[in-house]
Amino acid sequence: MKILFVASECVPFIKTGGLADVVGALSKVLASQGHDVRVMIPKYTSISEKYSNNMAHLVDFEVELGWRKQYCGIDELRQDGVIYYFVDNRYYFGRNYTYGMGGDEYERFAFFSRGVLNSLPLIGFKPDILHAHDWQAGMVLALLNIQYAHLPAYSGIKTVMTIHNLQYQGVFGIKDVQDVLGLGDSLFTDDKLECYGAANYLKAGIVYADEVTTVSPSYAEEIQTAYYGERLDGLLRAKSNRLSGVLNGIDVDVYDPANDKYIAAKYSSDDLSGKAICKRALQTQLNLDVRPEVPIIGMVGRLSNQKGLDLVDYVIGDIMREDVQLVCLGMGDSRYVNLFSWAEQNYPGRVAARFVMDNPLAHQIYAGSDLFLMPSQFEPCGLSQMIALRYGTIPVVRETGGLRDTVLSYNEYTNDGNGFSFFNYNAHDMLHTIQRALHYYWNKKDVWRILQQRGMTADYSWKVSAKKYLDIYNMLLNEDKKETPNVKPKAEKAKSVAQAKEASVKKPTTKVEAKAEVEKKKAEPVTKTAAAKKTTAAAAPEKKAASAKKPVTKTPAENSEKADS
């Protein structure tokens, strides 16, 4: 199967969030199973030279954006069985940021979308499946259907749109988008590209995709409600028969405590002694009091309301009244930078906060912490809770999206579960859940050990997710094959029935024949019964309507019969 991923980022080349991890990991797994997988992303100047210096230039051409013509180059890099293409234009992608800033994002990714489609015949690749990720690639699917699908080089391509976070949609002015893409007013209606008076790139992808997926089954259900739907819930409910959730995986080779090069000591589910060494090393590194018995609560992620940090803000004093240490790593809103800076000053030796993107330190926090706090307001999938489980760190989460699909709250009566969770978005519900988890940490070490082992031995790899995506791809490719053989037999059966009926009734088919038939019947002697007269009288209007050629809805069989004649 030939598969093309189109996205704005991909590890190991460029990363701003979980999207890059998904595109990079899923493509490698599919390629390892024998599929021809290729990935196309912009060529940002922030891509490391160790990758850019090894790229081969394939082709260059001009992309028309309204009245402008822009250079577009395609570079190639082969790695881990995957072919990566990089769409090159220094004006659009040679900036000191990846995306999310500036006032021409609509133009940058309009150029990217058209560059992707224009390049396919030039690089000699026609995918069976074109899989677009998030709003930056959404317009690729719209343009493919509107302007390219009738061309032989693009016909028959099946499309999938994956929503990684519905909150980010790529909303721009209609006139701006029309200017660069040359799309007519008829396309900017509420059933196509328009959304509340604006152009919406994510909606474009959803509307024109053959299949829409999200990154967890629960999130697929949630976004069909007004609370989580970000004003697209009506569209998503309309496409519910084409909407599914596939839980993300993690790279179990990168996140493996038995082979992690970033942590102080290796350990496994059978031998957790190395975790205590990692804990001591983390306390020393972050200037925390070195107390092996005190539980460390870790937090790694973006500092924003979405991550539920407003709940932490409300009860941080109550949390610190417990005998715990708190470690936070992330960047984001100034409100939460100030919050954790204040906490670090007011609880010296007990709170440590680092406002940077530090991958080695993230690994060390996962390995050295005892609990991992993730009280998200909403969470499409979430990778951090799965990484924490992999490292034997017990998650405390809110039941939403992918968190609900991966963390099952411990049930003391059935002994089921792998963590602790709460449902209502409430600060004190979160506080009580933390206190419940601490109760098991302090008083029931045997249960705590069971929870650690369950988390470390569960399968969070991409193999399960990759199989589900392949099922979706095969379903799309087999749809046409299933429909084609069924058309002819049905038509022939209907045709034979119609012919048999015609032979038995011998219904006149022209006005002349109908008139002659009536004259003939008038000349015949009246020998029929009253019942027969009643039947003839009832049939007369029907024949008259037929002779007047009243329009009727024809079945596919009737159309087929007419074509054959």
Q: What is the pLDDT of residue 485?
A: 54
Give me the domains of the chain, ranges plus CATH numbers.
2-245 (3.40.50.2000), 273-460 (3.40.50.2000), 507-565 (no CATH)
- Asked if pLDDT for residue 102 goes beyond 90, the answer is no
Are 339 and 315 contacting, i.e. CB atoms less than 8 angstroms apart?
A: no
Task: Reduce the DSSP state of residue 1 to 3 states and report it.
Answer: coil
CA proximity to 124, closest of 21, 36, 239: 36
CA 348 to chain CA centroid, Å, is: 42
* pLDDT, tens digit (0-9, with 9 covering 90-100), for 31-66: 999 999 999 999 999 999 999 999 999 999 999 998
Task: Reduce the DSSP state of residue 40 to 3 states and report it.
Answer: strand
Mean pLDDT of 429-448: 97
- Other Cβ atoms within 10 Å of 259 Cβ, number: 11
Cα 346 from Cα 34, distance rounded (Å): 56
Q: How confident is the model at residue 268 (pLDDT cuts 50, 70, 90)?
A: very high
Q: What is the pLDDT of residue 413?
A: 96
User: What is the pTM for the complete model shown?
Assistant: 0.81
Percentage, residues of the chain above pLDDT 70? 85
Are 296 and 324 contacting, i.e. CB atoms less than 8 angstroms apart?
A: yes
Tell me whether the omega of the peptide bond preceding residue 12 falls within 30 degrees of 0, making it cis. Answer: yes
Q: What angle do CA 512, 514, 516 make, to 5 degrees?
A: 70
- Asked if pLDDT for residue 544 goes beyond 70, the answer is no
- Asked if pLDDT for residue 118 goes beyond 50, the answer is yes
Mean pLDDT of 200-207: 98
> In sequence order, what DSSP letters do the residues of 130-169 get, joined into one string?
EEEESGGGHHHHHHIIIIITTSTTTTT-EEEEEES-TT--
Q: What is the pLDDT of residue 546?
A: 41
* pLDDT, tens digit (0-9, with 9 covering 90-100), for 363-405: 999 999 999 999 999 999 999 999 999 999 999 999 999 999 9
Task: Reduce the DSSP state of residue 318 to 3 states and report it.
Answer: helix
pLDDT higher for 244 or 488?
Answer: 244
Q: Which residues of 504-524 are buried (b: 16+ CB within 10 A; e: fewer)?
A: eeeebeeeeeeeeeeeeeeee
Task: Reduce the DSSP state of residue 89 to 3 states and report it.
Answer: coil
- Asked if pLDDT for residue 564 goes beyond 90, the answer is no
CA proximity to 372, closest of 333, 415, 412, 328: 328
- Residue 420, H or E segment: strand 420-422
User: Which of 45-49, 302-306, 408-412, 481-485 has the weakest average pLDDT?
Assistant: 481-485
